[in-house]
Amino acid sequence: MSFAIIRNQNHKVGAVPLVERHNERKNHNYSNHDIDCSRSKENFHLKSPQGSYWETFNKIRDRQQLKGNLRLQGEKQSTVLCEFIITSDKQFFDGLGADGTRRFFEDAYQFVASKVGGEQFVVSAVVHMDEATPHMHVTFIPTVRGKDRKGQPCRRINCSEFWKGRDSYSRLQDEWYDFIARSRGYDLERGIKGSAAEHLSVAEYKLKKTREQLARSEAQVQDIENIENISARNLPLNTVALKRADYDKLKASAEAYVTTRDSAAETAAENETLKGKVEALKSENAELRQENCSLNDQLITVNEQFDRFYDDVADERALLERNKHLAAENTNIGNQVHKLTDEIKALKEKSGKLSEDNDELKKTVEEKDAEITRVTRELTALQKLHKELQDKWEKVMKFIQEHSLKEKWDKYIAEPIKRAMSR
């Protein structure tokens, strides 16, 4: 009897790119020799990601207005994605055929969508047909219902709440079996409740079952080797008489011997193969963990650099707004200077025509001269400040160019500035 197998894995931020590379077959080499890259074209999606997994995560988060205080940096990162792995054994899928296998995974996808709160929370659902046994990877955002700070209903990203309860994983196995076997009618059996098999990976589970089969075969062989314990009684003409029970035992052992002898060898060989696969998976897991640590360190460094850059640019943005205001004042004062210059010129012309002892006119001219001197001094100071701001602005743009931050500048700084200046 084949089993209805569903497994879950939780992924933090740093693991998301690694999960995507495996599920979407973006690696160039795989330590898992079960993967036949020439058959990868047979893989198919029941839901394709919208860009990378991380881009799809953020799109879903924005579109569904998901809440949650997520730690996206440091060692204690929050779990942002969960992944269901759904499969059975090769014999089961061989019996279904290609069309039946696709229908099975389509039914399974309906179960997952209902389990996680809706298809809108699924990042990717891809079926791998390029390995020894077909299986499906469904990555999704674990969300729970809650309320925001204003007491309004909302969805929050919270993996621990999603899996809350000691028997939540066992309930998943029950729900999956009830759906796929009892509701959809597939000839599958649920695993033994409370057994370690519920927490094994697919490869480890297969290895465990193979070892159990090998133990049963070895017991049968031992039983056959002990047939000398059967009591026999010699009769004339070289005949032997046996008790019916001993005869039945000898007959059953003899019939099982040929099959057991061959199957034991095959099982042992398969066991060794699965051992190799498990070791390869452990090796790949160690490599991925090391790569994860390296990528996480790089991500933290980049984020720290960008935080510093953003703080610097935020100051420059304030200076830019001040520069805009000063430029407007500069233009206004310049217009005042031109107006006052024209007035003084007219007054001087008028003064030349009037009597030199016109004290009132002289006083007016002196006042205008003093005012234009003051305005000219203020204009000079503003022009100097404008030049300093311009130099500082050029340094900021040079920093952006040297650190290849043009895309982030356009997204987080340039666009808000354009909107502010257009008001």
pLDDT digits over 227-251, tens only? 555 555 555 555 566 667 766 666 6
DSSP 8-class letter at 190: P
Q: β-strand 5-12 against 44-47: which pairing, if any?
A: unpaired
Question: In terms of domains, do 184 and 326 share one?
Answer: no
Most confident of the following: 25-34, 91-100, 288-297: 91-100
- Three-point CA angle 10, 121, 176, nearest 5°: 65
Check pLDDT > 60 for residue 195. no
pLDDT of residue 388: 85
DSSP 13: G
3-class secondary structure, 74: coil
Mean of pLDDT over the chain:
78
Residues 375-405: pLDDT tens digits? Answer: 888 888 888 888 888 888 888 888 888 887 8
Query: What is Dmax (Cα atoms) for the chain?
Result: 171
Per-residue pLDDT at 280 exceeds 50: yes
Q: What is the mean pLDDT of residues 324-351?
A: 80
Domain C-terminal end among 197, 231, 246: 197
Count of domains observed in the chain:
2
120: in domain? yes
> Does residue 381 lie in a domain region?
yes
Residue 14, φ and ψ in degrees, nearest 5: -65, -25
The pLDDT of residue 211 is 59
Give the predicted TM-score (pTM) of the model. 0.50
Cβ pair 347, 362 in contact under 8 A: no
Whether 279 is covered by a domain: the verdict is no
**Structure token digits, residue 127:** 């079926």
| Residues paired with residue 137 on neighbouring β-strands, in sequence order | 85, 126
- The burial class, CB within 10 Å (0-12 / 13-18 / 19+), for 413 is buried
Q: Would you place residue 210 in the very low, low, confident or very high pLDDT band (cuts 50, 70, 90)?
A: low
> Is 148 found in the same domain as 24?
yes
Domain-embedded: residue 231: no
Is residue 256 a part of any domain in this protein?
A: no
Domain boundary among 197, 218, 233: 197
Boundary (domain end) residue, out of 144, 166, 197 = 197
Phi and psi torsions of 355, nearest 5° = -65, 140
In which band, very low, low, confident or very high, does the pLDDT at 140 lie, cut at 50, 70 and 90?
very high
Between 321 and 124, residue with greater pLDDT: 124
Q: 163 and 34 in one domain?
A: yes
pLDDT for residue 266 is more than 70: no
Asked whether residue 235 is assigned to any structural domain, the reply reads no
Query: 24-62, pLDDT tens digit by residue?
Result: 988 776 666 678 888 889 999 999 999 999 999 999 999
Mean pLDDT of 158-181: 88
203 part of a folded domain: no
Residue 76 token pair? 């204690």
pLDDT at position 197 over 60: no
The CA distance from 24 to 43, in Å, is 9
pLDDT of residue 105: 96
Using pLDDT thresholds of 50, 70 and 90, give the confidence band for residue 338. Answer: confident
Q: How far apart are CA 62 and CA 42, in angstroms?
A: 33
Residue 318 sits in the same domain as residue 187:
no
For residue 95 the two structure tokens come to: 């019996």
Same domain? For 75 and 190 the reply is yes
* Nearest alpha-carbon partner for 106 in 190, 53, 51, 44: 44
CA atoms of 35 and 132, how far apart (whole Å): 8
Does residue 179 share a domain with residue 38? yes
Angle between helices 244-353 and 202-225 (to 10 degrees): 170
Residue 204 in any domain: the answer is no
Task: Output the domain CATH number for residue 142.
Answer: 3.30.930.30
Domain residues for the domain of 22 are: 5-197
